Chain A
Amino acid sequence: MDTHIIELISTAGHVQWSLTIPQYFFFTGVSAAAFLISSLTYVFNNKTYEPIAGLSLIVAFTVLLAAPLNLIADLGQPGRFYSLFYHLHATSPMSWGVFLLTSYPILISLEMLFVFRAGFARRAAKSAGILRSIYTLLALGDTEVTPVTRERDHRIGRILGTIGIPAALAVHGYTGYILGVVRARPLWHTSLMPVIFLISAMVSGVALMIWLTALMVRDKNGKIPWNILDGLGILLVWSIVGDLTLRLLWYSIGFAYSFGIFQDALPYVFKTHFTESVVLEIGLCLSFPLVVALFGPLRRIRPLFLFSSLLAICGVWLFRWDTVIGGQEWPKISAGLAEYIPPLWGQTGIMEVVSNWAIWIVFFLGLTWIMPWRSEPTAESDLASGINVESAAVTAKGAM
């Protein structure tokens, strides 16, 4: 029987989580990805990415300082955010997030102290006055740089990095979990959501590191280290392939075999939001960078490679937007669609996101200035430059 319904009066479905939430999800994702890139060196001892390992760690730390500000901005009662620390709820993923967002930056900062300790010790040796005291403090009071201390720092850094890998996965995985548990929203409710978030986070994190490496890292000849960028390009390929595969699984099972509510909601993604979610997100921002990063000749057209990496960053942001905002535009009871156009100003406006990026840039530039993240000199160069030569020699003897 053909039924036609006209809704005359009903409650309107509103978009409750604003623009700041995709921004929060994006930044935590970048943090997790950047941490994993740093772990390639600090945990898995991969020498290829060593010149950007410290930088990645700083990115992981700084975006995670800026990210929670978005959450606070989105609260109805921002002044009560601290109550999350003592009003706990074991069944709420948001409650778990409080501990992840607190412990993870502490863990990264501890790791930074150990992996950068030798650098701080060197700076302390070369500085005077209050700066020397600060660097000595950052070097944990131990200004010696010897093979033994290097080994100790490396070992502790490795332990912290190893603990940090599941923490990084959890700190972003939980954001996908936040959405995945909401069964009232068909476009969120999938067990794949935490994994999709993690893999797409790898896309954004790797692409951002491609840009930061091109901007900030130089090899011995003062040139952009294209070998590292090529390596990151391959990582980008794998991440995009993973992302597209998971999307395929999600959409195909959901559309063809899932409950009616999902089957109803999915065409909305591909029809109403065709331009954003298909043309821009999957086409221009995922498939195009995939092709460029996959084929060497295209990848070696460096401006094209950098441009496609920028598109990949935008694409992941757009995915967060399409998921968080798009998922809410599909009403739970009402007919039609909810509309959402973010305001320019205000607590949850476009300028909040712009200022959040600005805050991150300030944190990032500040920490890259303070932290000795550039490639560490070898023990030989330490000896040559006369830093703690005696103690180094003594300790080296002792170690033998």
Chain B
Amino acid sequence: MDKSRRNFIKGLGATATSLALINTTEQALASSEDVEKGAVWGMVIDLRKCIGCQACTVACSTENQIPVGKFRTIVSTYEVERSGVPRRINLPRLCNHCKKPACTQVCPTQATKKRADGIVVVDNTVCIGCGYCIQACPYEARFINPLTRTADKCTFCLHRLEAGLYPACVETCVGEARIFGNFNDPQSEVSRLVSQYPVGVLKKAMGTGPMVYYIGLDESLSSRIQGEAVISPAGTPSDEEESI
């Protein structure tokens, strides 16, 4: 590779990094101020922009040190064929941080709670790993972390929020399909999107009031998938021991 070409690639990399930093800076949150104002965090996922690259899945797993085979977020991918026309649909999934969470209601030790800012968290020093919350969650958003042996789930990257940063999945999203913000602020982007676009939530009939809204949600994917499964990155339960 000649020198000029190498310099060009270096320059390209530097530009990309700078743009990423600018983007991060622009998106950074003033979390403490928002909390003081009584922020209620939530997410809007614009499915028109999701390309199914799984960058969010990887960013989340790396950021939160999730053991292999377990996921706090994942982009479910489907091939939907209607009238002989196949179409690929991506559906990012994560904890919905519901307004009325079914998981917190059944937790016997109150290890899992809904915070005032709407984020549902698990205190893994109190959780006994009974799995009742995993049964109660209609979204399969929880799992037993093989390392802590307690319930685990998305926290909207609470540690990042407290540092004024967006969740890792939001920050890494290539198409900016994941938009995070304060639903208590009518000027926030999430509030604006929800008021401007028809949005849907997963399993509305469960009455849990998800705080993750989707733009362009295909009705046939909003509940249990009635179709055939091909592969699962989470593997089978017998793989669990190996995944630790």
Contact = CB atoms under 8 A, between A and B. Distances in A.
A339 B74 CA distance: 21
A222 B60 CA distance: 72
Interface in B133-172: 134-140, 143-144, 149-151
A335 interface: yes
Contacts of B127: 76-77, 80
Contact of B93 (A11, A81, A97): A11
Given A10-B232, A84-B108, A92-B107, A5 B78 contact: yes
Contact of A76 (B74, B108, B130): B130
B229 A7 contact: yes
Contacts of A182: 102, 106, 135-136
B3 interface: no
Q: Residue among A87, A185, A333 with the most chain B CB within 10 A?
A: A333
A92 B131 contact: no
Contacts of B235: 12
B232 A92 contact: no
A94 interface: yes
Interface in A69-93: 71, 74-77, 80-81, 83-84, 87-89, 91-93
Interface string A53-78: 00000000000000000010011110
Interface residues of B, number: 61
Interface stretch (B36-44, B189-197, B217-225): B217-225
A87 B224 contact: no
Nearest to A261: B224
Dominant SS among interface residues on chain B: loop
B237 A4 contact: no
Given A5-B227, A6-B79, A76 B110 contact: no
A15 interface: yes
A259 interface: yes
Given A5-B79, A6-B227, A184 B233 contact: no
A81 B149 CA distance: 13
B236 A339 contact: yes
A384 interface: no
A147 interface: no
B238 interface: yes
Residue picked from B81, B206, B229, most chain A C-beta under 10 Å: B229
B225 A335 contact: yes
Contact of B83 (A2, A80, A184, A341): A2
Nearest to A82: B128
B129 interface: yes
A183 B102 contact: yes
Given A8-B78, A184-B136, A184-B206, A332 B126 contact: no
A307 interface: no
Nearest to B124: A77
Contact of B228 (A6, A87, A97, A98): A6
Interface residues of A, number: 56
Nearest to B138: A184
Contact of A83 (B109, B136, B138, B223): B109
A94 B107 CA distance: 8
Given A11-B234, A84-B109, A4 B131 contact: no
Q: Most chain-A CB neighbours within 10 Å: which of B105, B108, B238?
A: B108
A320 to B, nearest CB: 15
Contacts of B232: 9-12, 334
Contacts of A295: none
Contacts of A12: 232, 234-236
B143 A3 contact: no
Contacts of A83: 109, 126, 128
B111 interface: yes
Interface in B73-91: 74-83
B143 A14 contact: yes
A2 B82 CA distance: 6
B9 interface: no
Closest 8 CB pairs of A and B: A76-B129, A5-B227, A336-B229, A87-B109, A76-B149, A94-B108, A184-B138, A12-B234
19 contacts: A1-B83, A3-B80, A3-B81, A4-B227, A5-B81, A6-B230, A7-B225, A7-B228, A8-B79, A11-B140, A76-B127, A76-B130, A76-B144, A84-B128, A183-B102, A332-B139, A333-B139, A336-B228, A336-B229
